[in-house]
Amino acid sequence: MLTLKKIKTVKGEIRVPSDKSISHRAILISSIAEGKSVIKNWLVSEDTKATFNAVLQLGVQAHIKGNEVIVEGRNYLFSEPSDIIDAKNSGTTARLLMGVLSTQEFFSVITGDESLRNRPMLRVVEPLRQMGAWLDGREKGNKLPVAIRGGKLKGISFFNKKASAQVKSALLLASLKADGITEITEPYLSRDHTERMLRLFGAEITQLEGKDGHIVKLKGGQKLHACEIYCPADPSSSAFFVALAVLTEGSELILKDVLVNPTRDGFFRKLKQMGARLEYINLREISGEPIADIWVKGEGRLKGIDIREEDVPSLIDELPILALIMALAEGTSSVRGAHELRIKESDRIKAIVENLRSMGAKIEEYEDGFYIEGVEKLRGAHIKTYKDHRIAMTFSIAGLVAEGETIIDHPECVSVSYPEFYKDLERLIHQT
Ligand code: S3P
């Protein structure tokens, strides 16, 4: 349990921990490449450690020193794990790993914690079966534990209906060892870190626009070569501090080295449309990804906004914190086409609606989102996090702007993406 009270402002500079999506991919792609890769500024968290431990179980030699990781790549020559691989709370670990393991003739099993064992896996299992791998698990392969015996794969054409980057990435990692070409089409471009990182490691990938959406094509049989990679600060973790600044008049923050890849920065772009004072400064590119420092200033109430299906992929993980800002904005706001939120680390639509309502927000639930009428103030409440890191961080920020006292259950769950979250928050809080 954690108790929080209203603060005045936040001020200063912060470099939040590195991007979780990029940190997972850096470990996996270094492992399938040939030679020794060096990963700088890696995110050390519970989720990324699950990926790191998984590759160790496959015989990869890897070492973490501070936040640098050295990985001796195995060029897809892994050894059969002698035990079940535990992806813990991490969907990215489980799903991307299924792609890698589908290329291996040996037997392996992936499981996860209670939340992950309830999340759908068929979206990855089915196309990998089409490529020629054998995968099975609970509920006909939809739920972990999932067992895999991979082998000789063939390229497929696949329509990624839900625009899931985890599905796309799993297939790309499998397709490098498949015969022929794999082609993935998605209605809206999902985060493209796998494509960018594979290019950095020397792969040839084609990206084009088709009549049904964005297409990515990759020819099997390409070898990856070891690299040095820099992991930028996570925009999803940065979003909590940006939110706190825009919700407290007089605050001013600079967030350093933030990943501003257009498939990820929807939250910052929408905040500007809501009237926030926010700028990207010192825009640059590192390891194939755009990075900037973000300057943000709290200057009074923002205006409501409507988020549609096509907006969702670039801000999917930021929707809980955006909902808090909407709850305090002037006028009405809505989110539609975000059904995927129901199958994240928790049912995030339910968690957002239930908790915001208990704080006095005016919010209605839809199957695929919610509708909000902004209020001027929220009041402290007892928050149920469902052990979901993004819900815990969202409502911790809510507790710092609401009247009275807010109690957060299971605040420790922030460690899956941001172990030092509360320490960093404390450092930036000014009581004047
Ligand atoms: C992720 C993709 C997204 C995102 C998740 C991380 C990734 O999930 O919500 O937090 O690293 O590829 P989906 O692929 O299910 O959309």
pLDDT in tens, the chain (432 residues): 999 999 999 999 999 999 999 999 999 999 999 999 999 999 999 999 999 999 999 999 999 999 999 999 999 999 999 999 999 999 999 999 999 999 999 999 999 999 999 999 999 999 999 999 999 999 999 999 999 999 999 999 999 999 999 999 999 999 999 999 999 999 999 999 999 999 999 999 999 999 999 999 999 999 999 999 999 999 999 999 999 999 999 999 999 999 999 999 999 999 999 999 999 999 999 999 999 999 999 999 999 999 999 999 999 999 999 999 999 999 999 999 999 999 999 999 999 999 999 999 999 999 999 999 999 999 999 999 999 999 999 999 999 999 999 999 999 999 999 999 999 999 999 876
State CA 194 to chain mean position distance. Answer: 13
Residue 263, ligand 1, Cβ within 6 A: no
For residue 267, the model assigns a pLDDT of 99
Residue 191, ligand 1, Cβ within 6 A: yes
The token pair at 200 is: 């950095």
Rounded Cα distance between 338 and 392, Å, is 20
Rounded Cα distance between 201 and 203, Å, is 6
Alpha-carbon Rg for the chain in angstroms: 21
Question: Under a CB-based contact definition with an 8 Å cutoff, are residues 133 and 151 in contact?
Answer: yes
- How many other CB atoms sit within 10 Å of the CB of residue 46? 18
Rounded Cα distance between 305 and 314, Å, is 16
Q: What is the pTM of this model?
A: 0.98
Pocket test for ligand 1, best of 47, 162, 316, 343 (most atoms within 8 A of CB): 316
Which residue reads 């004047």 in tokens? 432
Catalytic-residue membership of 317: yes
Separation of 300 CA from ligand 1 center, angstroms? 32
Separation of 92 CA from ligand 1 center, angstroms? 6
Pocket test for ligand 1, best of 190, 191, 416 (most atoms within 8 A of CB): 191
Share of the chain residues as helix, strand and coil, in percent rounded to the nearest 5: 35, 30, 35
Which residue reads 């209906």 in tokens? 161
